[in-house]
Amino acid sequence: MAETIKVLVPEEEVDKRIEELGRKISEDYAGRQVHLICVLKGGVFFMCELAKRISVPVSMDFMSVGSYGDGTASSGVVKIAKDLDETLEGKDVLVVEDIIDSGRTLSYLLEVFKNRGPKSLKLCTLLDKPERRVKDVKVDYVGFNIPDEFVVGYGLDYAQKYRNLPYIGVVEGVE
Protein backbone atom coordinates (compact mmCIF):
# COMPACT_ATOMS: atom_id res chain seq x y z
CA MET A 1 0.00 0.00 0.00
CA ALA A 2 1.36 3.41 -0.95
CA GLU A 3 1.65 6.02 1.76
CA THR A 4 -0.64 9.04 1.82
CA ILE A 5 -0.27 12.30 3.73
CA LYS A 6 -3.08 13.63 5.92
CA VAL A 7 -2.79 17.34 6.85
CA LEU A 8 -2.26 17.75 10.60
CA VAL A 9 -1.36 21.46 10.72
CA PRO A 10 -2.29 23.51 7.61
CA GLU A 11 0.22 25.92 6.04
CA GLU A 12 -1.70 29.00 7.26
CA GLU A 13 -1.53 27.82 10.89
CA VAL A 14 2.19 27.04 10.60
CA ASP A 15 2.88 30.52 9.15
CA LYS A 16 0.79 32.25 11.83
CA ARG A 17 2.52 30.36 14.66
CA ILE A 18 6.02 31.07 13.31
CA GLU A 19 5.07 34.77 13.12
CA GLU A 20 3.99 34.63 16.80
CA LEU A 21 7.21 32.86 17.81
CA GLY A 22 9.30 35.44 15.93
CA ARG A 23 7.51 38.27 17.70
CA LYS A 24 7.98 36.66 21.15
CA ILE A 25 11.67 35.91 20.51
CA SER A 26 12.19 39.49 19.29
CA GLU A 27 10.64 40.80 22.54
CA ASP A 28 12.70 38.46 24.71
CA TYR A 29 15.98 39.39 22.96
CA ALA A 30 15.24 43.12 22.59
CA GLY A 31 18.48 45.12 22.35
CA ARG A 32 20.58 41.99 21.79
CA GLN A 33 21.65 39.76 18.92
CA VAL A 34 20.41 36.18 18.90
CA HIS A 35 22.63 33.40 17.56
CA LEU A 36 20.48 30.68 16.00
CA ILE A 37 21.80 27.13 15.84
CA CYS A 38 20.06 24.77 13.45
CA VAL A 39 20.28 21.03 13.87
CA LEU A 40 20.43 19.68 10.31
CA LYS A 41 18.68 18.65 8.18
CA GLY A 42 15.11 18.97 9.31
CA GLY A 43 15.44 22.26 11.18
CA VAL A 44 16.55 24.30 8.14
CA PHE A 45 13.06 25.10 6.83
CA PHE A 46 11.80 26.21 10.24
CA MET A 47 14.93 28.20 11.13
CA CYS A 48 14.90 30.16 7.87
CA GLU A 49 11.22 31.05 8.24
CA LEU A 50 11.68 31.93 11.91
CA ALA A 51 14.76 34.10 11.26
CA LYS A 52 12.79 36.16 8.71
CA ARG A 53 10.29 36.99 11.45
CA ILE A 54 12.77 37.98 14.18
CA SER A 55 13.31 41.74 14.29
CA VAL A 56 16.52 41.80 16.37
CA PRO A 57 19.91 41.08 14.74
CA VAL A 58 20.37 37.39 13.95
CA SER A 59 23.42 35.23 13.24
CA MET A 60 23.23 31.55 12.30
CA ASP A 61 25.23 28.36 12.53
CA PHE A 62 24.53 24.73 11.70
CA MET A 63 25.28 21.37 13.28
CA SER A 64 24.65 17.84 12.07
CA VAL A 65 24.32 14.96 14.49
CA GLY A 66 23.54 11.29 14.26
CA SER A 67 22.30 8.79 16.77
CA TYR A 68 23.59 5.31 16.15
CA GLY A 69 21.94 2.06 17.12
CA ASP A 70 20.82 -1.08 15.33
CA GLY A 71 19.38 0.92 12.45
CA THR A 72 15.82 1.15 13.73
CA ALA A 73 16.33 2.30 17.29
CA SER A 74 18.57 4.96 18.72
CA SER A 75 21.34 3.75 20.98
CA GLY A 76 21.28 7.06 22.80
CA VAL A 77 24.85 7.65 21.64
CA VAL A 78 25.04 10.93 19.75
CA LYS A 79 27.80 11.54 17.22
CA ILE A 80 28.53 15.03 15.91
CA ALA A 81 28.89 14.73 12.13
CA LYS A 82 29.32 18.48 11.50
CA ASP A 83 30.24 20.80 14.33
CA LEU A 84 29.55 24.51 14.58
CA ASP A 85 31.70 26.95 12.59
CA GLU A 86 31.66 29.68 15.25
CA THR A 87 32.33 29.88 18.96
CA LEU A 88 29.40 30.24 21.37
CA GLU A 89 31.44 32.18 23.91
CA GLY A 90 29.41 35.12 25.26
CA LYS A 91 26.55 34.74 22.74
CA ASP A 92 22.81 34.60 23.32
CA VAL A 93 22.16 31.20 21.73
CA LEU A 94 18.83 29.83 20.56
CA VAL A 95 18.86 26.21 19.37
CA VAL A 96 16.21 25.73 16.66
CA GLU A 97 14.78 22.25 16.09
CA ASP A 98 12.08 20.86 13.84
CA ILE A 99 10.78 18.30 16.35
CA ILE A 100 11.59 17.04 19.83
CA ASP A 101 10.41 13.63 20.92
CA SER A 102 12.63 11.51 23.21
CA GLY A 103 14.87 14.47 24.07
CA ARG A 104 18.03 12.34 24.01
CA THR A 105 19.84 14.24 21.24
CA LEU A 106 18.83 17.69 22.53
CA SER A 107 19.77 16.82 26.10
CA TYR A 108 23.23 15.84 24.88
CA LEU A 109 23.63 18.89 22.61
CA LEU A 110 22.51 21.36 25.26
CA GLU A 111 25.19 19.99 27.62
CA VAL A 112 27.81 20.34 24.86
CA PHE A 113 26.69 23.92 24.16
CA LYS A 114 26.59 24.90 27.88
CA ASN A 115 30.25 23.89 28.16
CA ARG A 116 31.13 26.30 25.31
CA GLY A 117 30.36 29.39 27.39
CA PRO A 118 27.28 31.04 25.86
CA LYS A 119 25.83 34.08 27.63
CA SER A 120 22.41 32.39 27.46
CA LEU A 121 21.07 29.17 25.96
CA LYS A 122 17.44 28.53 25.00
CA LEU A 123 15.58 26.01 22.86
CA CYS A 124 12.90 26.54 20.21
CA THR A 125 11.06 23.77 18.37
CA LEU A 126 8.36 23.80 15.74
CA LEU A 127 6.88 20.52 16.98
CA ASP A 128 6.95 18.88 20.40
CA LYS A 129 5.90 15.34 21.34
CA PRO A 130 6.12 15.60 25.15
CA GLU A 131 4.56 12.16 25.70
CA ARG A 132 7.61 10.58 23.99
CA ARG A 133 10.13 12.29 26.29
CA VAL A 134 12.67 10.05 28.00
CA LYS A 135 15.18 12.84 28.78
CA ASP A 136 13.94 15.99 30.49
CA VAL A 137 14.56 18.94 28.18
CA LYS A 138 13.32 22.47 28.88
CA VAL A 139 11.77 23.84 25.70
CA ASP A 140 11.48 27.64 25.82
CA TYR A 141 9.50 28.18 22.61
CA VAL A 142 7.10 25.60 21.16
CA GLY A 143 5.23 25.92 17.89
CA PHE A 144 2.82 23.02 18.35
CA ASN A 145 2.40 20.10 20.71
CA ILE A 146 1.45 17.15 18.54
CA PRO A 147 0.28 13.58 19.14
CA ASP A 148 2.62 10.63 18.81
CA GLU A 149 2.24 10.19 15.05
CA PHE A 150 4.83 10.04 12.27
CA VAL A 151 4.87 13.54 10.77
CA VAL A 152 6.41 15.06 7.65
CA GLY A 153 6.63 18.45 6.00
CA TYR A 154 8.35 21.69 6.89
CA GLY A 155 11.71 19.91 6.93
CA LEU A 156 10.59 16.59 8.39
CA ASP A 157 10.98 13.64 6.09
CA TYR A 158 10.03 10.05 5.47
CA ALA A 159 12.86 8.29 3.61
CA GLN A 160 14.13 11.72 2.47
CA LYS A 161 10.73 12.58 0.95
CA TYR A 162 8.17 15.24 1.90
CA ARG A 163 10.57 17.74 3.55
CA ASN A 164 9.35 20.43 1.15
CA LEU A 165 5.67 20.25 2.09
CA PRO A 166 4.50 23.68 3.34
CA TYR A 167 2.34 22.06 6.06
CA ILE A 168 2.72 19.39 8.75
CA GLY A 169 1.26 16.07 7.67
CA VAL A 170 0.84 12.58 9.06
CA VAL A 171 2.11 9.66 6.98
CA GLU A 172 -0.54 7.01 6.56
CA GLY A 173 -0.25 3.58 4.95
CA VAL A 174 3.29 2.87 6.17
CA GLU A 175 4.11 -0.47 7.72
Looking from the CA of 104 toward its CB, the CA atoms found within 13 Å total: 15
CA distance 16 to 134: 30
Is 101 a catalytic site residue? Answer: yes
CB-CB contact of 36 with 57 (8 Å): no
SS3 state at 49: helix
CA distance 36 to 84: 11
CA distance 35 to 59: 5
CA distance 155 to 88: 25
Catalytic residue among 15, 61, 92, 101: 101
Residue 52: C-alpha distances to residues 92, 117, 170 (Å): 18, 27, 26
Terminal Cα distance for the chain, rounded: 9
Provide the annotated active-site residues: 101
